[in-house]
Structure formats: C-alpha cells, structure tokens
C-alpha cells in the first residue's frame, strides 16, 4: 500500500511518484475542494498509475526531455528525440484515460468522477455547471471540420501531459455506460493470478490496437480520418507482404 502525502499548494493536483516504492501526492487545494467520493476517484486514478508501473516510463520521458535540451545544437538528433517524446506523451495521455477508468472502478460512482473532472477543469462548484454544455465541448473538440484546425489542435496537444478535462470526462462517461464496465462490476474480468507471463504483452497490444482503431473510427476530425485511412492502407499492404513472404517459406516456421 503506497503512502499518501498532502502538500501545501492551492492548485488542484495529484500525482503518483517514485520507482521502487511509489507514493501518492495530493495538494491541499484538491483536498479542500473535492468531496470524499471525488477524492476516492482521484486516489483510485493514482493507484492505477502505481499498479501499472507508469512511473518508470515517466522517468524515461523526463530523461529524454533533458537529453533533447542538451542536444538542441544538433537539429537532426533533437528532432529524432522530439518524435520519441511526442510518442511517449501521447501514450501518457492515453494512460490517463486508462487510470480514469481505474478511479471509476474504485469509487463506482460516475457522478462523483464527473464532478472531480469538472473541478479539475476549473469548476469550483459543479452544481453550478451546465453539465450537458460541458460534455458538448468534448464533442466539438472531436468534430472540427477544417483540417487547419486539426493541425492547430495537434500542435497544442503535443506538449500536454493530460488530455483536456472535457475529453476525459466524455470518454469516462461513455465507458461507464458500456457493457465492459458493467461486466467488470459483475466480476467478469481477468485476474492477475490467471495471467500467462508469456502472452500478457501480446494481449495488451491487441487490446491497445483495438482501442486506437475504435477511437479513430469514431472521430470526426478530418486529420484523424486521413491518418486512419493511411494506416489501414499501410496495414493492408503489410499484411499482404507478410502472407506472401512471412509464412510462405515452405517449412511452416513463423517469423
């Protein structure tokens, strides 16, 4: 069980920190602002980071950022590192959505989770917030019609460590209404004791790929649709090459 520390800061913040012995930090601003149910969601979110070992990847990213700054005088090297950092940040943004699900599973109260995300977005009193309009912002964010807006969105999101609060709220409410969430509450989910060490990562990759495909297919963002179409074309071509050369070597072995 990781230790939890409260530190003096008026900002609404929480973080899971550490490598071998992770601990959780929450600010006084967060503790004073949120209800007990919303705090439970936040702590469950941070426990998701702890159990998933995200601190290791965060450490890698911090070191890469330092390396990028030190190599800024060599544009080619800095550009390559920037691409890796951008990919890690995108992974972290997706990890935040996963940990939101962990927080919801801890509290099992979608309303409390929504209140917490509204407060993270700057809403002091959730009862005074127009919740449908708040969630509508996420739909508007996902459905930009001009590809120039898509490039601007990509530019500003690239350096963010978290998805925008409205996006997180909409994604979590959507998942709370899904058959998957109901199945987990009913006890239908994989147990750690039943995991096969040799196949875990393969299952994770398949699950992640499906999640990306579903989210891209559902997006109305024109730039996302371009990437999706290109990705499907590349994937189809790769599959044909693999079918012809990867398994057609006559001896039945796999590459």
Domain coverage including residue 44: 4-191
For residue 11, is it within any domain?
A: yes
For residue 183, is it within any domain?
A: yes
Retrieve residue 89's tokens: 């940040």
Asked whether residue 5 carries a pLDDT value surpassing 90, the answer given is yes
User: What is the C-alpha separation between 198 and 65, in angstroms, rounded?
Assistant: 32
| Residue-level pLDDT at 152 | 61
Average pLDDT of 47-51? 92
| Residue-level pLDDT at 212 | 56
User: What is the C-alpha separation between 49 and 72, in angstroms, rounded?
Assistant: 31
| Residue-level pLDDT at 115 | 92
Asked whether residue 3 carries a pLDDT value surpassing 80, the answer given is yes
Q: Which of the four pLDDT bands, split at 50, 70 and 90, describes residue 114?
A: very high
**Number of domains making up the chain:** 1
Go through the chain and tell me how many residues it has: 255
By mean pLDDT, which of 29-33, 132-136, 148-152, 153-157 is the weakest?
Answer: 148-152
For residue 246, is it within any domain?
A: no
* Tokens 């012995």, located at residue: 21
| Residue-level pLDDT at 12 | 93
For residue 217, is it within any domain?
A: no
For residue 68, is it within any domain?
A: yes
Range 14-38 burial, b when 16+ CB lie within 10 A, else e? bebbeeeebebbbbebbeebbeeeb
For residue 8, is it within any domain?
A: yes
Is the overall model pTM greater than 0.85, yes or no?
no
For residue 251, is it within any domain?
A: no
For residue 114, is it within any domain?
A: yes
């Amino acid at each position: 069980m990781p230790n939890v520390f409260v530190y003096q800061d008026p900002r609404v913040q929480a973080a899971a920190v550490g490598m071998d012995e992770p601990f959780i930090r929450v600010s006084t601003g967060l503790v004073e602002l949120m209800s007990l149910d919303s705090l439970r969601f936040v702590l469950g979110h941070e426990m998701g980071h702890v159990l998933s070992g995200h601190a290791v990847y965060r450490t890698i990213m911090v070191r890469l950022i330092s390396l990028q700054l030190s190599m800024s005088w060599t544009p080619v090297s800095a550009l390559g590192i920037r691409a890796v950092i951008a990919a890690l940040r995108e992974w972290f943004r997706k990890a935040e959505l996963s940990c939101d699900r962990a927080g919801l599973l801890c509290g099992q109260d979608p309303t409390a989770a929504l209140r917490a995300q509204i407060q993270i977005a700057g809403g002091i009193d959730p009862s005074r917030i127009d919740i449908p309009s708040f969630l509508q912002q996420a739909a508007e964010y996902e459905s930009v019609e001009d590809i120039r807006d898509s490039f601007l969105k990509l530019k500003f999101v690239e350096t963010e460590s978290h998805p925008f609060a409205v996006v997180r709220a909409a994604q979590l409410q959507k998942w709370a209404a899904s058959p998957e969430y109901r199945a987990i509450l009913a006890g239908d989910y994989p147990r750690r004791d039943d995991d096969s060490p040799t196949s875990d990562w393969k299952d994770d990759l398949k699950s992640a790929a499906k999640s990306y495909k579903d989210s891209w297919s559902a997006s109305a963002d024109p730039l996302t649709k371009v990437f999706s179409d290109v990705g499907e074309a590349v994937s189809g071509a790769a599959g044909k090459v693999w079918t012809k050369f990867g398994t057609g070597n006559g001896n039945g072995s796999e590459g």
